[in-house]
Structure 1
Amino acid sequence: MNVFLLKTNDSGQQDRYVEYILDRKTHEHKAITHVEQINLLKFNFKNLDLIKSKLFMFFVEKNYEHYLNDYSKCLILTSRQTIESIQEALSEVFINLEKDDSDSEQSTLYLETSLENHQNKLIVYCVGESTASRFKLFIKNLKQINPDLDRHLIIRLVSEPKKSEYKQNACELSKLIAQDYESIKSSLSFTDSFKYALYPCSSIRRDDLSKNLTQSGISYDEINTYDTGPCQKGLDKLFKTISLCQNEASFLVFFSPSGCDAVFLDPKMKTLIQNEPLKFKFVSIGPSTSSKLKCYVDNSLIYELKEPSPQALWDKLKSILNES
């Protein structure tokens, strides 16, 4: 049985899902013979001058009070690519920094999670732990030129790290934002130029978060900072690898709705799956991805994780294999 993780990953680094499965398959389930992460998407940044004009004042010029009073009180981050687009927008700053891609010193960051002392601080909402970790890395690098930056930030997450139920999605995030907004709005000054939230996102983002913000009476400035499209090189690699596996069955693990589109709108992959449907098991990282998968395969063939984590994926793979 092969496991293909259809997701992006930082180049040169072992994917944490791959690492977790490889560590356990030898001892717990030898039926899994091949594990590979394949990137099926490419991202093209855009509107970088616009996002720079919004955030340079806060992150680089250290003009915190002016930014928070006249521009935005919070920043909404729903993907790693959003953070990378911000970093690209501030590239003139990063080009002279000593880049650190490790997680080892993230504990040195002073980042509050409570709204108790929110004055003069930007509230940063992250859709999940992975996005939050990427943002912390971004801040750690920026601290080389702005040592006190982290003391002007509050990180808010949908759920605590040890919470078991799956809640890390944009819909739940919007509920948290609305809840926080109600608790602090009386202390805010609303100028003509002020928008409560800055929301950089993909040009194909789902409507859930934006719709819920509007319904909650929250003003926001939405900027499309990147386009998402299929990566033909990755699709060709997936097709070739599966074809070489001959009669072996494969798990296709999808991490985003865009990944589903990339596979099923590719003529070669679509034909391959349609010709031998019993060779494939379709695993989804969460509700949004499952909804997209249902457009292409029967619901009975989709296995959804209880939460987006390597442990949850491993548990699901074992469960499916034990049923076979």
Structure 2
Amino acid sequence: MRKVVLFKGVSEDYEKVFSDNNYEVVFVEPLQFSFINRDQLREKLDDKQYEGLILTSPRAIEAVGRCWDPAKYMLWNTKTVYTVGHTSCQKINRLLGLGASGASSGNAVNLAKLIISENSKTHKFLFPCGNLRSETLPNTLTAAELSIDALTVYETKENENLRRDLMELNESAPACMVFFSPSGCEYIYRQLQTFNNRLSVLPHFAIGNSTAHKIENLGLEIAGVAQKPEPESIMESIKTYFASTVS
């Protein structure tokens, strides 16, 4: 049974998909988060000026969930919530009780195209995000003359246990590694440079194009990129790679 390292928090969905395909999963969280600007977020959620809400990361969804009051924010029942991927749609429904669009978008570029196609230039969107957010989506929407109000609701930092976790991982025998964010890639490789490791030569997989580009910018090769930010898509990419190396 091949061992796969997923650089993310523990996920039952990922564990099930990999286990069903006879892969062992090891979760290593390279990041830690702190939630900020809660009062500002509450005020904006109560503001009627927005046509919709854009939530492109699990942590942004959690930040809104920490402030959420269904009785107070009933106005959002008639507005559109946009996100990327089926998992995020499910999380929004579970934490906020709202439906979301963008399950099949796959990435920020496609999500921006969807938002532009469904809205007029006068529409304004609330965009809770992290301090290390990508500018792809806001720049694309701004270029299309849509208005976006970005509010930083969480900060991303390096997990204080990352070096220890990587050194322990180095003593095991993983077959490949999967990266889930550009910032995670940076923190991981900053630590890998501090000790002799066997991890850098493993096949590297990415959850999406932004993460893949970050890995390439670090001077490393990409073994595969998930077509969608979902466990099934990552699993397919890994299976395809190993099938090609055997044949």
**TM superposition score normalised by structure 2:** 0.86
SS of aligned partner of 1:306: coil
Match of 2:78 in 1: 121
* Shift in CA distance, 52/319, structure 1 to aligned 2, threshold 3 Å: same
* Shift in CA distance, 228/264, structure 1 to aligned 2, threshold 3 Å: same
Q: How many residues align?
A: 240
How far has the Cα of 1:249 moved from its partner? 4.7
How far has the Cα of 1:238 moved from its partner? 3.1
* Shift in CA distance, 302/296, structure 1 to aligned 2, threshold 3 Å: farther
> 2:178 aligned with 1:250, yes or no?
no
Aligned residue identity for 1:287: N
How far has the Cα of 1:158 moved from its partner? 5.3
Contact 2:86 2:103 (C-alpha < 8 Å) held by counterparts: no
Report Cα offsets for 1:122-167 as digits up to 9, x if no partner.
Answer: 1111122111111101124xxxxxxxxx5xxx632152xxxxxxx4
Match of 2:8 in 1: 7
Match of 1:24 in 2: 21
SS of aligned partner of 1:22: helix
Partners of 1:264 and 1:86 lie apart in 2 by 31
Query: What residue ranges of structure 2 are gaps of 5+ in the alignment?
Result: 71-75
Report 1:1-324 matches (<5 A).
Answer: 1-9=2-10, 14-25=11-22, 32=23, 34-55=24-45, 57=46, 67-68=47-48, 71-90=49-68, 121-140=78-97, 155-157=100-102, 159=104, 167-182=105-120, 196-243=124-171, 245=172, 248-267=173-192, 271-273=196-198, 277-278=200-201, 280-299=202-221, 301-322=222-243, 323-324=245-246
SS of aligned partner of 1:272: coil
SS of aligned partner of 2:133: coil
* Shift in CA distance, 44/72, structure 1 to aligned 2, threshold 3 Å: same
How far has the Cα of 1:233 moved from its partner? 1.7
How far has the Cα of 1:37 moved from its partner? 1.5
Aligned residue identity for 2:210: S
How far has the Cα of 1:205 moved from its partner? 0.6
Larger radius of gyration: 1
SS of aligned partner of 1:157: coil
SS of aligned partner of 2:100: strand
RMSD: 2.6
How far has the Cα of 1:259 moved from its partner? 1.6
Query: Share of identical aligned residues, percent?
Result: 26
How far has the Cα of 1:230 moved from its partner? 1.3
SS of aligned partner of 2:21: helix
Contact 2:127 2:149 (C-alpha < 8 Å) held by counterparts: yes
Aligned residue identity for 1:210: P
Report Cα offsets for 1:239-297 as digits up to 9, x if no partner.
Answer: 21322x2xx35311111112211211115567425xx644x111111111100110223
